[in-house]
């Protein structure tokens, strides 16, 4: 019996342990925020993501002279499936600083009617300038909301005026002004 006791003390018991695991995965998809624009009511909506592919607004700006005023609309919206966000008009770049200095502008957001002088009232929603003042083309504007998923486009009306102080040497000059309308998503 003594031998059996020694044997029992010297042996090690191994107990079996059961184990099990659970794994879980998650798939993550980034949201999107994309803009597109149209330069005429009911027109084609296209993306214009660079200054080289900028939408051409329909100003009747040929033959501007001191105190002449020109108007052009642009509609901006998000694309289908896009988040909502804000739009902020950046100051214009240009290719003729002298002529650009002789022009001033203001921009309103409007909901109906034609883009013309009737949009620039005291109660209008000004993004650039005010009902009483126009600013240099290089002036950036205030932010405005843009709805998600192609809903409720932001209608912007630009008014560009040649200043009465425009120098006589500008006769026949031309210039291209390019504005960036920068969009930022809400989420």
Per-residue pLDDT reduced to its tens digit, 49-69: 999 999 999 887 678 999 999
Residue 11: predicted pLDDT: 56
The answer to whether residue 109 sits within a structural domain is: yes
Q: Would you place residue 118 in the very low, low, confident or very high pLDDT band (cuts 50, 70, 90)?
A: very high
Q: Is residue 20 part of a domain?
A: no
H or E element in which residue 5 lies: helix 2-10
pLDDT-based confidence at residue 40 (cuts at 50, 70, 90): confident
**Assigned domain for 149 exists:** yes
pLDDT at 135 over 60: yes
How far apart, in whole angstroms, are the C-alpha atoms of residue 145 and residue 141? 13
Reply yes or no on whether the pLDDT at 10 is more than 90: no
Note whether residue 136 is domain-resident. Answer: yes
Check pLDDT > 70 for residue 1: no
Residue 152 lies in domain: 31-43+71-164
Q: Is position 183 within any domain?
A: no
Q: What is the tally of structural domains in the chain? A: 1
Instruction: Specify if 58 maps to a domain.
Output: no
Whether 25 is covered by a domain: the verdict is: no
Q: For residue 49, what pLDDT is reported? A: 92
Q: Output the average pLDDT for the chain.
A: 90
Q: Residue 8 burial by CB count (10 A; 0-12/13-18/19+): exposed, middle or buried?
A: exposed
Residues 185 and 83: beta-carbon distance below 8 Å: yes
Task: Say if 185 falls within a structural domain.
Answer: no
């Amino acid at each position: 019996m003594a031998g059996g006791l020694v044997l029992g003390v010297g042996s090690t018991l191994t107990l079996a342990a059961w184990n099990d695991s659970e794994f879980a995965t998650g798939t993550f998809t980034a949201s999107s925020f994309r803009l597109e624009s149209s330069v005429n009511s009911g027109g084609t909506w296209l993306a214009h993501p660079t200054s080289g592919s900028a939408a051409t607004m329909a100003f009747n700006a040929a033959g501007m002279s001191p105190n002449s005023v020109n108007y052009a609309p642009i509609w901006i919206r998000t694309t289908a499936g896009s988040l909502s966000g804000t739009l902020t008009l950046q100051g214009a770049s240009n290719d003729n600083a002298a002529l650009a200095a002789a022009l001033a502008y203001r921009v309103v957001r409007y909901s109906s009617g034609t883009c013309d002088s009737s949009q620039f009232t005291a109660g209008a929603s000004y993004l650039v300038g005010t009902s009483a003042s126009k600013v240099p083309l290089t002036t950036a504007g205030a932010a405005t909301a843009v709805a998600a998923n192609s809903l409720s486009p932001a209608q912007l009306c630009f008014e560009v005026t040649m200043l009465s102080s425009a120098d006589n040497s500008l006769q026949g000059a031309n210039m291209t002004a390019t504005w960036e309308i920068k969009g930022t998503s809400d989420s």
